[in-house]
A and B are shown apart, each in its own frame.
Chain A
Amino acid sequence: MSAADSHPTARVPRAVRHPALTAFLRDPAAMTGLVLLVLVTVLALLAPWVYPGDPLAMVARPLLWPGESWAHPLGSDSMGRDVLAGIAHGARISLLVGLVAAVLSLAIGVLVGALGGYFGGWLDDVLVRMTELFQTVPSFLLVIVLVTIGRPSASVVVFAIGLASWPVIARLVRAEFRSLREREFVLAARAQGYGHARIIASEILPNAAPPVIVTTSVLVATAILMESALSFLGLSDPNVVSWGRMVGEGREFLRTAWFLSAAPGVAILLSVMALNLVGDGLNDALNPRLRR
């Protein structure tokens, strides 16, 4: 440092290495969400070892109540299938659908939003009209239509949910790009002769990331809910156990064996809540103005 710049007021304290991470770890709500999410993930990963074999196999006396038999701690359904095994295996499909669908909509949304927001002009007009087209159709109806056209398999469900939820990301990314492209560091990059691809990918995108990350966490939660709703309606792969389907099947025994719907329902509730808490925590942590 030149002697001149070591002027007393010009000295800036070296910033904490990862202020956002520190803020996130200090937020009790976000940590609760993170712990829940880790638990669900561990459950999903361990399912094939803890409950080897088909979770749809009939292994116990039908309609065992929770706690009645230690071999089946959450009881069994009307066909003698273990509820806990179903929840453990259901976690796999819920998380998988949530993540893959979110990644798919993220890919489409970022591409559409970045191109439209950066270049503007006729390209932006076309892309915005396309986004609006998807937004005006109720997304759940769109998913149902897509799933009923195709075969009800996990990949079709993922594809349908991804295709229905990208407009949110596209609009967000477009708005971020429109304001960031006017910033002087982008102008400076252009003055240095950088190409469009480099400016989009390495100058603007990292600066647009925080709100997109936050929205994605909520998007995963929404995708899990959509998948559950689809399975509840019986529109999912009949050979795969899923939380939504367990809630749907337990519906008929709501008065006699409420736990059949309640247990998977609580699983959905906790995972979605965990994702929302993580999303809120990320929002606070990544926004320097809210960080205290």
Chain B
Amino acid sequence: MKTSGPLLDVRGLNVSFESAAGRQQAVRGLGFSISEGESLALVGESGCGKSTAALALMRLLPDSASCTGHIQFAGRKLPDLSPAEMRALRGRSLSMIFQEPMSSLNPVHRVGDQIVEVLRAHEALSRQAARRRAMELLDRVQIAEPDRRFDDYPHQLSGGQRQRVMIAIAIACGPRLLIADEPTTALDVTVQAQILALLDGLRRELRMALLLITHDLGVVAEYADRVLVMLDGSSVEEADTQRLFEAPAHWYSHQLLGASLHCHPVTLAPVRRIAQVPGSGVGQPGCAPLLEADQLVVSYDRTRSARTNAVDHVSFAIGAGETLGLIGESGCGKSTLARALLRLIPLGSGRLCFDGQDVGTLPERALGAFRQRIQMVFQDPYGSLNPRQSVGRILDTVLRVHQHGDAGQRTAHIDSLIERVGLPADSRRRHPNEFSGGQRQRIAIARALLLKPSLLVLDEPVSALDVSIQAQIIDLLLELKRDLGLAYLFISHDLAVVRRVSDRVVVMRDGRFVETGANPDIWEAPAHSYTQSLIAAMPRVRWRVSTADQSAAVTPPST
């Protein structure tokens, strides 16, 4: 069927939610169109309404939402279709894949059967024929040994393989439009690149249109024809990808570009290197190390008989005032290592020294002084703050436990730190749920700094945050390091972030360190093949991003 005009045409889309706090508008007057075979990227930070808009297209919004506007797909007005007609359309000519490949597959069914189910729901196929088609699809999404994988359950596949299965399901009936909602956000960098390349290849092969929803501009640069930037539920700029990268018209697009660390190509001269500013006399890199780990092993029971080493004979040292970046993909043992360093989980064997003292063997009760000097910031600013306590209480308890002064002194100390990390002055009386993700991470950082530590272990401190907030938190961390002479162990899966903050970098894989090197040498001459593949997988921008002339035409409105 050939239709005139674009494949999908959306005009004046409004979505609002009914909640206890009143009516909340998630999408305001959004309009865009996609032609056959075209790929459009919907870019914006969390909460900007991009996923809501996608769900509105699929008519999958929850009952509490109300949606108005014109949505025309392949010549049909979607809001006018009956539920049965809509069901026939979904999965057949309009498909969607989601962010979490872990939860979008049904865990109790074999992956092959889940593909067969979609095929047979939309096409009159015999079981045998459907099975053959499902095999072909698994092959097409480049899953090795499809005949063996067919009978696997989702938990037996890796995250990347699961997302491939999701894609196989989505393209099973040859859709004309595929909506991919943050398809690679939950995946490791190397896998992310493969999945995006696969989606792009399939789009050309099957001549389907792709609506790619993402917060990551690096993704957009390589795989989208056009970009639509969203802010607060409405579109602020729509442009060809190249045009947007070279000359963003709206201040917000500019801000997103500036904040995206991926947009600074790896091979160019270093970005700002505040990290190399020496500590304020607390100690210089090169003196006796602050923290020293020697042949550290952390193991856990996998079954009753077998033990696995999550951290496998790892040795390293961090000097006072130094930042050691630790890179590795999920499951490589980096968080386990972080927790072991703070003695939060038992050490298997090996030596752990802090400031010349062997802390690896100290009993739990004797750890008080050690815990004042080494502190941790966690990845998830939503999970690491007790939701039932006010910020003031969260911070005050730390000081009370370690008996720091009377109530007045404690409050003064807390207030000064709240100001230091850039939180509003009335933060003490508020609860964590009243803050945004970036602000919560600031609270977590304030908590870690209360006892004036010398080493901060930062476990993916910015991974859960939007790009522009990431940049702010990193700036704050660099500033604090310079002012307070802190040493950091900075753990991340994101090379761009580690590159920005570290003095030295170690690469971890399967519980072992595969390579150690100075920043930026390690990026220019990676010795290990794994480091090379990590660097190769980084999303890159083909065009030079205009970083000059930040102020012209791009000043945010004063609010």
Question: Which A residues lie at the B interface, using CB under 8 A?
Answer: 1-2, 4-16, 19, 22-23, 183-185, 187-195, 198, 202-203, 206-207, 291-292
Q: Is the CB of B397 within 8 A of A194?
A: yes
* A188 touching B472, Cβ below 8 Å: no
Of B20, B378, B387, B388, the residue contacting A19 (CB under 8 A) is: B20
Asked if A191 contacts B436 (CB within 8 A), the reply is no
With an 8 A cutoff between CB atoms, is B431 at the interface?
A: yes
Can you spell out 13 A-B residue pairs with CB atoms less than 8 angstroms apart?
A: A1-B422, A1-B424, A1-B439, A8-B232, A14-B434, A15-B433, A184-B384, A185-B384, A187-B339, A188-B384, A191-B376, A192-B401, A292-B18
Residues from chain A with a CB closer than 8 A to the CB of B21 are 13, 15-16
Given that A2-B422, A23-B20, A292-B64 are contacting pairs, would A8 and B559 also be in contact in the complex, using a CB cutoff of 8 Å? yes
Task: Pick the contact of B431: A15, A184, A187 (CB < 8 A).
Answer: A15
The smallest beta-carbon distance between A14 and chain B, in angstroms, is: 6
Contact call B434/A12, Cβ cutoff below 8 A = yes
Beyond A193-B368, A207-B386, whether A7 also contacts B64 by CB under 8 A is no
Taking A5-B436, A191-B371 as known contacts, 5 extra A-B pairs with beta carbons closer than 8 A to each other, sorted by chain A number, are A8-B559, A10-B439, A184-B380, A192-B371, A192-B375
Give the residues from 413 to 466 in chain B that come closer than 8 angstroms, CB to CB, to chain A: 422-424, 431, 433-439, 442, 444, 447, 451, 466
B18, B344, B388: residue with the most chain A Cβ atoms closer than 10 Å: B388
Residue of A nearest to B393 (CB): A202
Using Cβ atoms and an 8 Å threshold, which residues of chain B touch A19? Answer: 20
Contact of A190 with B438 at beta-carbon distance under 8 Å, contacts A5-B472, A9-B232, A292-B18 already known: no
How far apart sit A7 and B559, CA to CA, in the bound complex (Å)?
A: 9
**Contact for A9 among B20, B46, B64, B386, CB less than 8 A:** B46
| 9 tightest A-B CB contacts, nearest first | A2-B422, A193-B371, A184-B384, A184-B383, A10-B436, A206-B388, A1-B424, A184-B378, A185-B386
Interchain CB contact under 8 A, B435 and A12? yes
Give the number of chain B interface residues (Cβ < 8 Å). Answer: 55
In the complex, the answer to whether A291 meets B438 with C-beta atoms within 8 Å is no
Q: Does B469 contact A (CB under 8 A)?
A: yes
Contacts of A190 in B (CB 8 A): 344
- A183 to chain B: which residues have CB within 8 Å? 383
Closest beta carbon of chain A to B359's beta carbon, Å: 13
Task: Report the minimal beta-carbon distance from A176 to chain B, rounded to whole angstroms.
Answer: 13
Give every chain B residue within 8 A of A14 (Cβ-Cβ). 434
State A183–B384 Cα separation when bound (angstroms). Answer: 7
B residues 1-33 touching A (CB-CB < 8 Å)? 18-21
Residue of B nearest to A7 (CB): B468
A10, B438: Cβ atoms closer than 8 Å: yes
A40: min CB distance to chain B, Å: 30
Q: Which residues of B contact A195 (CB under 8 A)?
A: 401
Closest Cβ of chain B to A202, distance in Å, is 7
What's the nearest-Cβ distance from chain B to residue A265, in Å? 39
Distance to closest chain B CB from A106 (angstroms) = 19
Q: Which residues from 351 to 389 on chain B have a C-beta closer than 8 Å to any C-beta of chain A?
A: 367-368, 371-372, 375-376, 378-380, 383-389
Nearest Cβ on chain B to A76's Cβ, whole angstroms: 51
| Nearest CB in chain A to that of B402: its residue | A193
